[in-house]
């Protein structure tokens, strides 16, 4: 079968490491006068200790509360005053901080990130304030929202046994309220070391000039090595696991199922067919599960499948999963949906994927990958994660082609592994229904 012909991007990736251990990736693009700056630290939800659930996310907030030479809110003022924007986010395996700025403000962005890498303002006032902010986020995003935390908070404790993989990454109020400034200082010293970070810059700059700026602002940051990263792997399921809970705000039932998949970093070739399979199953109105469950059987009101608990297949480390979630109509049956999904997986496993169907899915996936890296900021973030997890930021250019080379036989083989006995299922039930 012919593979889909996709455009090849050639975004450059100049790599070097400072004496203090900070890895740097520069990707110049002079097509527009903007720059994207990202710093990614190799610490996420899976790294937080027992009794400190939610601490990785809480610490992300603390990194915006002032730093070594800047008072509270100064970071906000300097970025926005330059016409830029900024943010940060916490993931299972990393935390990122980023700015997109006019290119003439590049040095300002580098100074700001270097300054908080030297040390955030870890005070009792800042800690208590941000604990309250995070608690309010939990109220708004989980406790007072229909399907809050579904399924990324609800499925892992069904699928996994160990604390790093199974615990609530938003955190409990008890754990958050018991956090101390000493806890924060220890967390910073351990995980926010130069040797545990990657800095990327994409956009309109001269490589030699940018290198000099990076050395000027980051070169004097204290050298601390990266902590040893634990192996978070655990045995696969050998029997189906199910759990259900009541969501008083949910108008209708919703279910999610997950199956473990190969290690995305150590075995990308084995992992990619599952990424394609998820799209074969649910990408668009012509996909198999949308046709079967939503259009024909009407056993679901919506259905989607994707890789990774946070929905990005290419920022996940092992262990991770292929997830399927579906909304059910009034009186809908979880078993009916799962049985239909099993039948469609069997059809893919035994009957294959026609060439035109695979070509359509591959073309759509490649289009999304190319579009998502068109922005210099998204390019910076993607390259930083690829450097951190794989030491290969240039893989950004290769991913569309690798996806297009996945064969129908590989997709069928992937579908054959998604058996009911390897599945974890969680159900969100409305009101008091069971």
What is the domain partition of the chain in residue ranges?
14-218, 241-430
d(C-alpha 194, C-alpha 20), whole Å? 6
pLDDT at 309: 94
Q: Is 13 helix (H, G, I), strand (E, B) or coil?
A: coil
pLDDT at 89: 97
Q: List the strands of the sheet with 34-41, edge to edge.
A: 14-17, 23-28, 197-203, 34-41, 95-102, 85-90
Q: Is 171 helix (H, G, I), strand (E, B) or coil?
A: coil
Q: Is 14 helix (H, G, I), strand (E, B) or coil?
A: strand
Fold adopted by 14-218: Cytochrome Bc1 Complex; Chain A, domain 1 (3.30.830)
pLDDT at 68: 86
d(C-alpha 426, C-alpha 128), whole Å? 34
pLDDT at 311: 83
DSSP 57-110: HHHHHHTTS-BTTB-TTHHHHHHHHTT-EEEEEE-SS-EEEEEEEEGGGHHHHH
pLDDT at 431: 85
pLDDT at 432: 56
Q: What are phi and psi of 85, to 5 degrees?
A: -140, 165
pLDDT at 7: 84
Selecting from 3.50.50.60, 3.30.470.20, 3.40.50.10490, 3.30.830.10, what CATH number does the domain 241-430 have? 3.30.830.10
**Given the DSSP bridges, would you call strands 254-260 and 321-327 parallel, antiparallel or unpaired?**
antiparallel
d(C-alpha 189, C-alpha 207), whole Å? 31
Question: What tokens appear for 276 in the block?
Answer: 């394609």
Examine domains 14-218 and 241-430 and report if their fold is the same: yes
Regions of the chain with pLDDT less than 70: 1-4, 432-434
CB contact at 8 A, 118 and 67: yes
pLDDT at 434: 43
Question: What tokens appear for 127 in the block?
Answer: 């800690």
pLDDT at 294: 97
CB contact at 8 A, 404 and 6: yes
pLDDT at 4: 55
Q: What is the mean pLDDT of the chain?
A: 95
pTM: 0.96
Angle made by CA atoms 103, 105, 108, in degrees to the nearest 5 = 140
pLDDT at 325: 97
| pLDDT tens-digit readout, 129-161 | 999 999 999 999 999 999 999 999 999 999 999
What count of other Cβ atoms lies within 10 Å of the Cβ of residue 391? 11
Spell out the residues 6+ positions from residue 182 whose beta carbon is closer than 8 angstroms to its own: none
Helix, strand counts (H, E) of the chain: 16, 11
Among 118, 114, 129, which Cα is nearest to 181's?
129
Among 190, 179, 165, which Cα is nearest to 58's?
179
CB contact at 8 A, 193 and 19: no
């Amino acid at each position: 079968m012919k593979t889909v012909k996709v455009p090849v991007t050639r975004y450059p990736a100049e790599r070097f490491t400072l004496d203090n251990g900070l890895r740097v990736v520069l990707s110049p693009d002079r097509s527009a006068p903007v720059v994207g700056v990202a710093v990614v630290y190799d610490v996420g939800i899976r790294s937080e200790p027992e009794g400190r659930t939610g601490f990785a996310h809480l610490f992300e907030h603390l990194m915006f509360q002032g730093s070594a030479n800047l008072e509270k809110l100064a970071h906000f003022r300097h970025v926005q005053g330059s016409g830029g924007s900024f943010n940060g986010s916490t993931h299972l395996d990393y935390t990122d901080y980023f700015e997109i700025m006019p290119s003439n403000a590049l040095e300002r962005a580098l100074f700001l990130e270097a300054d908080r890498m030297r040390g955030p303002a870890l005070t009792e006032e800042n800690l208590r304030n941000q604990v309250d902010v995070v608690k309010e986020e939990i109220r708004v995003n989980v406790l007072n929202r229909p399907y809050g935390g579904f399924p990324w908070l609800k499925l892992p404790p069904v699928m996994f046994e160990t604390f790093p993989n199974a615990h609530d990454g938003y955190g409990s109020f008890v754990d958050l309220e018991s956090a101390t400034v000493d806890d924060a200082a220890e967390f910073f010293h351990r995980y926010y070391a130069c040797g545990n970070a990657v800095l990327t810059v994409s956009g309109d700059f001269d490589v030699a000039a940018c290198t000099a700026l990076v050395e000027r602002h980051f070169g004097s940051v204290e050298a601390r090595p990266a902590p040893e990263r634990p192996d978070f792997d655990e045995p696969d399921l050998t029997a189906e696991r199910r759990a259900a809970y009541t969501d008083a705000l949910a108008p209708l039932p919703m279910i999610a199922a997950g199956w473990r998949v190969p290690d995305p970093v150590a075995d990308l070739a084995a992992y990619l067919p599952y990424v394609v399979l998820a799209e074969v199953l649910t990408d668009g109105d012509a996909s198999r599960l949308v046709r079967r469950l939503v259009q024909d059987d009407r056993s679901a009101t919506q259905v989607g499948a994707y890789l990774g608990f946070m929905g990005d297949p290419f920022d996940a480390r092992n262990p991770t999963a292929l997830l399927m979630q579906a909304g059910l109509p009034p009186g809908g049956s979880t078993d009916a949906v799962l049985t239909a999904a099993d039948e469609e997986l069997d059809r893919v496993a035994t009957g294959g994927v026609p060439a035109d169907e695979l070509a359509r899915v591959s073309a759509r996936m490649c289009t999304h990958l190319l579009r998502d890296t068109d922005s210099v900021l998204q390019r910076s973030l993607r390259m930083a994660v690829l450097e951190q997890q794989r030491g290969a930021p240039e893989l950004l250019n290769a991913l569309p082609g690798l996806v297009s080379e996945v064969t129908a036989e590989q997709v069928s083989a992937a579908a054959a592994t998604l058996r009911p006995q390897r599945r974890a299922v969680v159900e969100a039930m409305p009101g008091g229904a069971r």
